Structure 1
């Protein structure tokens, strides 16, 4: 069946929509995908891509409706469940997102971003043991995943398992291709873990690195000042607190 106005079939219109989407002409792609759905209301590609575009445009309620229509349109891939879960996570639908990521992983067990996102959700929901399992699964599939190493390290620190926290923050710090901000964040997290383990000399070293690398080093200066104060070096502590105030004069 062709469009009476253009004489084009849904397949032809979909091809035009895909080209517009690929070229970044989102409004044109939106118009064409919607035109496809007027003729073929259950077209899985149009529904999926339209939902993706509306997510990118932060029109989340519209995107959610489209994903729900897509789930009713036939066989659904792991990627669709993963993107649906991402949208639910953005909307604060945490339990729904957990279910979507779990479904994605049942369909494709090696989908490491789903393991990582599921780890974040389970951590936020207080299911720490399950979160750790999914962070580890993500890292087994993709060892050079700095955020998974960092989040796993922070979670172990939260749980008082400081040796494991230090181990994972060292692994995060050792990963290649980090910019200054990423390197600084990893130094800061490692310093926090070292300080929690009362390895103060090395913690001071990494806080000092963090103050040089972070775009906003206020918390690193404060934590470094706290360690200097603990070491009864009031002059060094004062210098750190003054450095923090130079960055943010209204910090309480």
Structure 2
């Protein structure tokens, strides 16, 4: 006879077993899964209640020997289940083991392959991610997000474009596919088409901050600055928590000549994301451009407290170098070189610091090593010229500048600087006429090259052509009106001319007598 207590045990067990599982059973609405472990916790309680109830009933029906056998069998079963639980717990040790377990358990389920591919993509394991995205698409060809993500990993731009277009055929409002296709077209120079897709991406995903940044930067490239600013402001209004959007707007404001507003947005980015080291570096660069070096240094160091990267170390090293703190610059550039030993820009900067500190042999060795790997390194030849000049090896310094000129740089100001340096090397060897010719080329390419005008005046001064010398000095003085050296040289000319006038007058008086 079943007692009320037994009846209640069975009822409670059945209720725990059935009702918590009903929402995940797909009987009333499609939830996309059935046997997820998280939906089995409460049904397991019902199973345990019914199991214990049944075990108790069996024990009452069996004799003592049978009951002992049953209990021993139950303990063995519990031990096996415990081992299985320990084994199952290993699946939950990491996200990777969890997703991989899903693929192993349900190899014909597109969703588990898609989830595992997303994890692999986030880890930078693109080859494996592509395989699982393609597997997901074989199992479910209409998976628009898999097509979109596959497009982001595909190196072939034509193939990537096909994936994005297929994703949009399945879901024309897939804002991320629209965004990715827009960026792809942008990289191919199809800017008008790119703008259309990026606008649609914003239309169907008004809270997608990256789309605002990409569209605004593209408009800025086309010099549609007012429209770009409107896009940034709309983006910040719709995505007020996006630190990246504030940072990118700050960069735009710096480029368009609004540093104070840029400063505010960099600070907003850091406030929203206190570990936003990119915004910190940008803020440091902004303070550096305003010549507030202490503030710039503070923000660079704050960024370094978050992460040690070459992108942070380099501007800090440049700050130290340009403010004469060579020991600190040397230390920073050595740290950067340790992080990226193959980065030629870092090696060159390190060589420049060494040269400035008088360690010219090591600097020369490093620079020649870079040249051996990259013969077209213009800055290397300029640095070598400076090193040889410090060592008073002027013919070698002149040879290095000639090699730089043979590379035929396109920027007229760079060519002007090279001819100016060449003129200096020729002047050191007392080839004044050739030096004068080099300075002439320098000022033809860059009329604002004050030092070249001054040196031309100096050569004419030495040669005794005081009228020409005065003309060149005065031209230089127009460019640098506070130059003490120029004023002194002009004063010397005045004294010489007066002396010559006195000599000439005395001769005239002598002839008259």
Q: TM-score, with normalisation over the residues of structure 1?
A: 0.76
Aligned position for 1:11: 207
Tell me which of 315, 334, 353 is aligned to 1:155. 353
Does the C-alpha gap of structure 1 residues 35 and 127 become closer, same or farther in structure 2, counting only changes over 3 Å?
A: same
Question: Residue 124 of structure 1: which of 322, 334, 357 is its match?
Answer: 322
**Pick aligned residue for 2:397 from 174, 178, 203:** 203
Deviation, structure 1 residue 238: 3.5
- Which residue of 250, 260, 266 corresponds with 1:61? 260
Q: Which is helix-richer, 1 or 2? A: 2
Question: What residue in structure 2 maps to residue 224 of structure 1?
Answer: 425
- Give 3-state SS (helix, strand or coil) of 2:324's partner: coil
1:20 aligns with 2:215: yes
* Unmatched runs of 5 consecutive residues or more in structure 1: 1-6, 230-236
- What is the alpha-carbon distance in structure 2 between the residues aligned to residue 86 and residue 139 of structure 1? 21
Q: What is the aligned-residue RMSD (CA, Å)?
A: 3.0
Segments of 5+ residues of structure 2 without an aligned counterpart are 1-202, 410-414, 445-452, 458-513
8 Å contact from structure 2 (residues 283, 296) kept in 1: yes
Residue 193 (str. 1) matches residue 387 (str. 2)? yes
Q: Once the 2 structures are TM-superposed, how far is the Cα of residue 158 of structure 1 from its aligned partner?
A: 2.4
Residue 190 of structure 1 and its aligned partner are, at CA, apart by: 0.4
Larger Rg: 2
Other-structure match for 1:104: 303
Tell me the residue number matched to 1:246: 440
Counterpart of 1:3 in structure 2 is none
| Partner residue, 1:234 | none
User: In 2 relative to 1, CA 27–171 (structure 1 residues): closer, same or farther, beyond 3 Å?
Assistant: farther
8 Å Cα contact 1:154-1:189 kept in structure 2: yes
Work out the number of aligned pairs and report it: 233
CA contact (8 A) 1:146 1:175 kept: no
Match of 2:339 among 133, 141, 153: 141
Query: Which one has more relative contact order, counting CA pairs under 8 Å at least 6 apart?
Result: 1
8 Å contact 2:277–2:307 — kept in the other structure? yes
**Offset from partner CA, 1:206-233 (integer Å, 9 cap, x none):** 233245446123333223313433xxxx
1:46 aligns with 2:242: no
> Does residue 165 of structure 1 match 2:366?
no
Tell me if 1:75 matches 2:269: no
Q: Confirm or deny: 8 A CA contact 2:207 2:238 kept in the other structure.
A: no
**Residue 147 of structure 1: CA displacement?**
4.1
Question: Deviations for 1:26-74, whole angstroms, at most 9, x for unmatched residues?
Answer: 5444323323444665442332222122122231111001112222224
- Aligned partner of residue 58 in structure 1, secondary structure: coil
Q: What is the Cα deviation at residue 246 of structure 1?
A: 3.4
1:135-167 alpha-carbon deviations (Å, 9 max, x no partner): 122223334544433333333222222212212
